[in-house]
Structure 1
Amino acid sequence: MKKTIKALKFSAAFLLIVSSFIACDKDFNVIESDVLGTENSNFTTDNAVYPISAYNRKLNSLQINNLASNLLGVFNDPAYGKTTASIITQVTPTSFNPDFGENTVIDSVVINIPYFNTVVGTDDDGYSKYALDSLYGNPEAPIKLSIYQNNYFLRDFDPNSTLNNTQNYYSNASSTLNSAFTSTSEINFDDHIAATIYEEDIFTPSKNAIKTTIGEGDDAVTTRTTPAFRVVFNQADYADELTFWKETIIDKQDDPVLSNANNFKDYFRGLYFKAESIGSDGNMFLINLASTAANITIYYSKDSSVEGETIQSTYVLNFTGNKINTFINDYNLVTLQNGDKDLGDEKLYLKGAEGSMAVIDLFGNEDTNNNEIADALEDFINEYRQTDDNGEFIKNKTTGNFLLKKLINDAHLEIYEDETMPTLPVDENGDAYHKYDRIYAYDIKNNTPTIDYLIDATENSQSAFSSKIISLSQRDTVLGRYKIRLTEHLNSILLRDSTNTKIGLVLSTNVNYTNNAKILQSNDAVTAVPAASLLTPRGTILYGSNENVSEGKRLKLKVFFTEPKQD
């Protein structure tokens, strides 16, 4: 039943929208009264549900180089199974042609990589207490962590490209090895280990601040820095490791390998951080290799110009250059596969780290006799656009936009979680497992955010969870429901004849990160995915659009509109 708009019941936002529409479309400009009321308002509101097809798209061979951050560890998703993430990264000295002096001795070497963290209070001494952001799984469940010298050269440019294109590396998560693809080959990084630098058989990340003390007794000065993955190689416990760094770096003084970045990267091809499972559970976390505090610092002593004295100095290598995040997926709880494009799927599987995504085909059911437009879309356009006496669509002579007989006030996908999927009871911070998950929607044809995302003014650079909450909404923690707004997407189709592109849905923990990850040799319309979906190992299961899903939970496109009241 249609609801006639009653006097003075409009919100300010609604009046603004209607007044904007009145300015553009002449059929909506007759008010005939200074005060709107049931008898004299000349438009009504209503809503409708339109057919869509939502289906699964299994993801393979995703671009894994040069991501904004990197996952490391083991995560056992309760609905999918286990994912293991490792990292291969280049390192680069902060200075070249060093003079390490005479009788040089390495005092220690420190590898430091900050975790993403949040200050959550202060301790009894007034110092900051931290919680680790983006920590997945059980923080108390250990993993094996090894650091190797990598001997595979990570190229900057693709040697097989005639256009000097960047060399991309792609995931091979269905393998049981830490491997990656290029456009022409497969790389197993275990075959390119030059030396073992560090091994820890039982590793868990710590949320404690890093304390560093210089001096002794009353002269001691202690500084505190944010939580980090930190390995300290000292003389007492790691003599062999210090010998490695001396032979690899210090002894190369005056050698061309320390003269510039290109020479160094070819000589020392980086580090391989390898995570391995040691049980059914594990922990995984994001590390910030791009941080200015992420580095390898060699502390050394050398002879002073004053006889009998020494000078302490440092040589620093940053994690700059190519970085690759490899994944190994052991999904023993669900089989990911491509879905039914015609009938849609009953359940949609959104899984990060080379998992799965959903494709939304608005209106669906392509007309086999007319490949340019879908039957349901044609009906939708006919329902909303004005026509002349010959049945032709009418355009505004000034703007060139089509005139409408109905105004879309709001349109969104309504999506429900499968409440029967297994989940962990709480995460590291005691929150419900899927509480902070977001669903990110993008234009599959152009690999861009949706129009609604681009005009959404609620961007929050400090908190991705609270960003873009109009276009992407936040998860309804009571109903397990998401809303993805497509108001401007549909208006653009109606007003400007824009293409009705398919919409991709992925799970994201950072909706502000809109870079894409290419798919190697894709054979369908999905040629890239939002890179943010690679940076979460988590997954969720949603109800799809198939008719076997109950009406109340079925994924649907809901449109709320205004139209002139019929006499």
Structure 2
Amino acid sequence: MIRKIGVLSISLLCLAAITSCEKDFSEVGTNVVNNDKFETGEILLDVEITPKNIESVQADNINASISDYWLGVYNNPNAEKIEASIISQLGYISNLNNKDTDTTVFNLDKVILKIPYQATSTGTTDGVTRFKLDSILGNPDVATSIQVLENETYLNTLNPSDPSKRNTFFSDDEYLGDNVLSEGGIYQLKPKATDTTFIFDRVDRSSSLTGTTTYKDTIRAINSQKLKVPFLAIPLDITKMKTLFWDKFHSGEFLSKEAFDDYFRGIKIVATGSDGLLIPLNLASSPAPSVDFHYTISEVDGTTVKDTLQKKYSFPLAGVRNSHYKMTPATNSAPANNFVVQGTAGKMAKVKILGLDLSKSELTQQFKGDFNDNLNDYDIDDNGFLSLDELQKLFNYRKNILKSNSYLLMNDASLTFYINQAINNDSNIIPQQLFLYQNKENETGGISPTQLTDAYVDPTSFGGTLKKTDDNPEKYTFRITDYISKLLSGEENTTTDPLILKVYNPTDSPVNNNVLTTSVKSYNWNPRSVTLFNGNESANGTKRAVLKISYSKEK
């Protein structure tokens, strides 16, 4: 039902954008008019929410600059479980040399997959910088199972069926290859901010090339500020990596980048399990994520070792990179009259703005007999409900019979979604921003995800950010004044096609590098979720999803 505050001719509301310029208002725009010649009020229009599954999202770095690649398992019982994995090519290195001579001997000691964590410095004590890991989700007490495998699917940047176009990899694509490269098969991931070193046993070759004595050697990750940062270190099977890489450095497979990309098609870092944690990894970070081959060069005179030097070859995680999201239905279904939005390949919601719900007598009273003879021209159901399409017809009729003293200014239109705080009471783990756009039907009968004009006409006011009360998550609000004004006035190219609510992703911004793009991309690497109340007034009362329109009119 519609809530009416103050006396308002609904038909005039639609004309706000058209008629406001015809009178000399002292204050106009999106702010409420403040003087004694006007009265203000608001109406609340119901919305209808339909939850929608996201089958998959674009997941490659071919067509977008991706900041976060999530790795791990996140089992939020109120959202779909995510098993997030990473697929990446390795960068090519030229002029590799590990060929023994009469005076020099090369020995491979260790192979490590090294990826810095996203971490923030918390200060320095006694010359040691301390960190906290950023944005980890899930259960830190449960180890997450990780496997590194050889990828056997060629990651082409061009579309194989049409090489004139860029390729696209989606989050549910499958990648061939079951050759496990991680040492011991499965690596148990439990990241800590103190993981600033990786210690391993290295063979001591200082006195003998055939010796078996070992010593503890330490690997660190040093960033551009010369700080030792926490990092993920997964040992790889040295026998397999020796066969795949080390023994082929002087063969045709490593002769050129093209040959290398075709020979070794990358790695899959695969997370599995029923529970665990999810960590964001920036694959464009400093130091660069890499597969490192640690080796020893021994200078010899016959069988006598004269000197040793420890070195490494680093193959960066570069070229085509993709995310893979395996989604599993939530343990707990959303309560009645609630719905969930979740990023990655989770859930979004279709939002339909409903029309005016008034009885026929109320409708006649509202419009003061100006068109009593014309009510049969409108599609009014048994309960007196006018659809949005019928309201537009009504608005256009009313426009032709305006009285000279009947001007009204629409100040604002906002769409608000309230959070179910019984489920989501921690503002740190839910989305910090949602996004609203429109699925427009195109000329071919398909769907074109399209930016609302409010998102780029007035981006600072468009909203969608999380609002809190006493640090408790409360709601998300969008100001869609321009869209509603055009919709109710029946402006050309403004449609009633559904609005779509989703978790915000950086690629949703309509303006990048000062270039406006009205189409909405399907990327999303934000794994957070939130449970919201739908538009049912009897169930949710003042916390229901609602469209509020504020207005000013002449007294």
> Given the two structures, how large is their TM-score scaled by the length of structure 2?
0.70
Whole-angstrom CA distance in 2 between matches of 1:439 and 1:330: 22
Q: 1:204 aligns with which of 174, 190, 196?
A: 190
Superposition map of 1:289-300 within 5 A: 289-293=283-287, 294-300=289-295
Superposition map of 1:377-456 within 5 A: 379=391, 387-388=399-400, 405-421=407-423, 432=427, 434=429, 437-445=432-440, 446-456=448-458
Whole-angstrom CA distance in 2 between matches of 1:99 and 1:332: 52
| Equivalent pair of 1:49/1:558 in contact (CA under 8 Å) | yes
Whole-angstrom CA distance in 1 between matches of 2:153 and 2:132: 36
Secondary structure of 1:151's partner? coil
How much has 1:87 moved relative to structure 2? 1.9
Q: 2:546 aligns with which of 547, 556, 563?
A: 556
Does 1:360 pair with 2:356?
A: no
Q: 1:134 to 1:479 in 2, by over 3 A?
A: closer
Tell me the equivalent position of 1:318: 316
| Equivalent pair of 1:101/1:302 in contact (CA under 8 Å) | no
Does 1:347 pair with 2:338?
A: yes
How much has 1:269 moved relative to structure 2? 1.2
Q: 1:447 to 1:290 in 2, by over 3 A?
A: farther
Does 1:261 pair with 2:257?
A: yes
How much has 1:298 moved relative to structure 2? 2.1
| Equivalent pair of 1:70/1:535 in contact (CA under 8 Å) | no
Whole-angstrom CA distance in 1 between matches of 2:168 and 2:278: 24
Q: 1:384 to 1:302 in 2, by over 3 A?
A: farther
Tell me the equivalent position of 1:192: 177
Q: 1:450 to 1:304 in 2, by over 3 A?
A: farther
Question: Residues 142-174 of structure 1, C-alpha deviation per residue, up to 9 Å, x if partnerless?
Answer: 122121222222232332x336333333344xx
Whole-angstrom CA distance in 2 between matches of 1:162 and 1:61: 22
Q: 1:378 to 1:406 in 2, by over 3 A?
A: farther
- In the comparison of the two structures, how many residue pairs are matched? 458
Secondary structure of 2:181's partner? strand
Tell me the equivalent position of 1:400: none
Does 1:43 pair with 2:38?
A: yes
Q: 1:414 to 1:250 in 2, by over 3 A?
A: same
Matched residue type, 2:228: T
Whole-angstrom CA distance in 2 between matches of 1:494 and 1:418: 31
Matched residue type, 1:164: S
| Equivalent pair of 2:187/2:234 in contact (CA under 8 Å) | no
Whole-angstrom CA distance in 2 between matches of 1:83 and 1:221: 31
Whole-angstrom CA distance in 1 between matches of 2:219 and 2:420: 54
Whole-angstrom CA distance in 2 between matches of 1:545 and 1:107: 63
Tell me the equivalent position of 2:329: 331
Q: 1:482 aligns with which of 450, 456, 476?
A: 476
Matched residue type, 2:70: L
Q: 1:101 to 1:471 in 2, by over 3 A?
A: same
Whole-angstrom CA distance in 1 between matches of 2:219 and 2:153: 42
| Equivalent pair of 2:19/2:409 in contact (CA under 8 Å) | no
Q: 2:247 aligns with which of 248, 251, 255?
A: 251
How much has 1:194 moved relative to structure 2? 2.7
Whole-angstrom CA distance in 2 between matches of 1:488 and 1:412: 10
How much has 1:64 moved relative to structure 2? 2.8
How much has 1:555 moved relative to structure 2? 0.8
How much has 1:80 moved relative to structure 2? 3.1
Q: 1:22 to 1:304 in 2, by over 3 A?
A: farther
How much has 1:378 moved relative to structure 2? 5.3
| Equivalent pair of 1:385/1:494 in contact (CA under 8 Å) | no
Secondary structure of 2:243's partner? helix
Matched residue type, 1:275: A
| Equivalent pair of 1:113/1:287 in contact (CA under 8 Å) | yes
| Equivalent pair of 2:86/2:269 in contact (CA under 8 Å) | yes
Whole-angstrom CA distance in 2 between matches of 1:25 and 1:387: 15
Please provide the CA RMSD for this pair: 4.2
Secondary structure of 1:89's partner? strand
Q: 1:450 to 1:418 in 2, by over 3 A?
A: same
How much has 1:358 moved relative to structure 2? 0.6
Whole-angstrom CA distance in 2 between matches of 1:142 and 1:262: 38
| Equivalent pair of 1:384/1:406 in contact (CA under 8 Å) | no
How much has 1:413 moved relative to structure 2? 1.0
Identity percentage of aligned residues: 22
Q: 1:542 aligns with which of 498, 509, 532?
A: 532
| Equivalent pair of 2:72/2:144 in contact (CA under 8 Å) | yes
Q: 1:299 to 1:386 in 2, by over 3 A?
A: farther
Tell me the equivalent position of 2:74: 75
Tell me the equivalent position of 2:444: none
Whole-angstrom CA distance in 1 between matches of 2:393 and 2:316: 56
Tell me the equivalent position of 1:12: none
How much has 1:450 moved relative to structure 2? 3.3
Name whichever structure is richer in strand by fraction: 2
How much has 1:552 moved relative to structure 2? 1.4
| Equivalent pair of 2:290/2:314 in contact (CA under 8 Å) | yes
Tell me the equivalent position of 2:120: 118
How much has 1:89 moved relative to structure 2? 1.6
Does 1:473 pair with 2:465?
A: yes
> Higher Cα Rg: structure 1 or 2?
2
Whole-angstrom CA distance in 2 between matches of 1:118 and 1:384: 57
Secondary structure of 2:463's partner? coil
Matched residue type, 1:361: K
Tell me the equivalent position of 2:388: 376
Whole-angstrom CA distance in 2 between matches of 1:540 and 1:192: 35
Superposition map of 1:209-288 within 5 A: 210-211=196-197, 224-231=227-234, 241-277=237-273, 281-288=275-282
Matched residue type, 1:196: L
Whole-angstrom CA distance in 2 between matches of 1:46 and 1:265: 65
Tell me the equivalent position of 1:154: 155
Matched residue type, 1:106: L
| Equivalent pair of 2:88/2:321 in contact (CA under 8 Å) | yes
> Given the two structures, how large is their TM-score scaled by the length of structure 1?
0.69
Unmatched 5+ stretches in structure 1: 5-20, 32-36, 173-179, 181-186, 214-219, 234-240, 337-344, 393-403, 426-430, 459-468, 517-526
| Equivalent pair of 1:209/1:225 in contact (CA under 8 Å) | no
Whole-angstrom CA distance in 2 between matches of 1:232 and 1:163: 38
Whole-angstrom CA distance in 2 between matches of 1:479 and 1:381: 40
Q: 1:301 to 1:24 in 2, by over 3 A?
A: farther
Whole-angstrom CA distance in 2 between matches of 1:473 and 1:104: 57
| Equivalent pair of 1:22/1:29 in contact (CA under 8 Å) | no
Whole-angstrom CA distance in 1 between matches of 2:520 and 2:313: 40
| Equivalent pair of 1:386/1:405 in contact (CA under 8 Å) | no
How much has 1:137 moved relative to structure 2? 0.6
| Equivalent pair of 1:436/1:475 in contact (CA under 8 Å) | no
Matched residue type, 2:436: A
